[in-house]
Amino acid sequence: MERVLVGLKRVVDYNVRVRIRSDGSGVETDGVKMSINPFDEIALEEALRMKERGEANEVVVVSIGGSECQQQLRTGLAMGADRAILVETAESVNPLTGARIFLELIKREAAELVLLGKQAIDDDNNQTGQMLAALWGRPQATFASRIELNGSTAKVTREVDVGLETIEVDLPAVITTDLRLNEPRYVKLPDIMKAKKKPLDQIPVADLAVESAASITAVTFEPPEQRQKGIIVKDVAELVAALKDKGLV
């Protein structure tokens, strides 16, 4: 395989406690640590392992957003990716528009495999991979917990409601990754320094001539209600009475 394309999305770090802005317009990001979406990091790790096994010649990481996304792309390069592409846009990109952007990049890069995280932890849409496969007209394998390449096919073990199932898809294909697939490698300082010299191409989204999909507008954001203090009951009868008082039974 010549080239693997991997999507990296910039999100609030999963260790950070999310706070809503005082005006309810969105999530507070000023001064907040931002990182690669964890599922995307797993996708990149799997692509790098494919390259190390000689199953792929080049790994290209892609992000869509503003110039600040260069930080996550440089981290991907430090992990071991060969090149990076930033599709520049100041607008929020919904899953369908993102899939259309990836499709244009696939055509430009002649990618034979696209690896994406199964979902982003900021919006939890879980849609981009499936939409991309439909637009591309190629097979998809979602929620992958194991990937085995065999020439022109990929055997993917995926997590479903009743357990695990194994499917085989022809390449080129789109595969989305789950948490059990691998554990991403630790980035060392020398690798961070080397990443600064690796190519990072910046492409204005207008150059791709992608049709923007109708988007859903979030009107307001609200934090969840604070958890109520629990009570201790003496016996089952008191428990049932307490549940009845709350209208739960």
Architecture of domain 3-245: 3-Layer(aba) Sandwich (3.40)
Indicate the domain borders of the chain.
3-245
Give the amino acid at 80. G
**Stretch (H or E) spanning 7:** strand 3-7
Distance CA 164, CA 181 (A): 13
- C-alpha dihedral sign at 39, 175, 4, 60: negative
Distance CA 128, CA 69 (A): 18
Contact (CB, 8 A) for 44 and 113? no
List the chain pLDDT tens, one digit each, 249 residues.
899 999 999 999 988 888 888 888 788 888 889 999 999 999 999 999 999 999 999 999 999 999 999 999 999 999 999 999 999 998 888 999 999 999 999 999 999 999 999 999 988 889 999 999 999 999 999 999 999 999 899 999 998 888 899 999 999 999 999 999 999 999 999 999 999 999 999 999 999 988 887 777 788 888 888 887 888 888 999 999 988 988 887
Which pLDDT value is given to residue 90?
Answer: 87
Which pLDDT value is given to residue 208?
Answer: 92
Contact (CB, 8 A) for 56 and 47? yes
Neighbours of 66 (CB within 10 A): 13
Reference 40, options 15, 16, 5; nearest CA is 5
CA distances from 230 to 238, 239, 245 (A): 14, 12, 14
Distance CA 115, CA 156 (A): 12
Which pLDDT value is given to residue 209?
Answer: 87
Distance CA 62, CA 150 (A): 25
Single pTM value for the model: 0.85
Neighbours of 72 (CB within 10 A): 24
Distance CA 176, CA 87 (A): 20
Phi, psi of 141 (to 5 degrees): -135, 115
DSSP letter at 119 equals -
Say if strands 113-117 and 173-177 run parallel, antiparallel, or are unpaired: parallel
- C-alpha dihedral sign at 25, 30, 36, 37: negative
Distance CA 61, CA 9 (A): 10
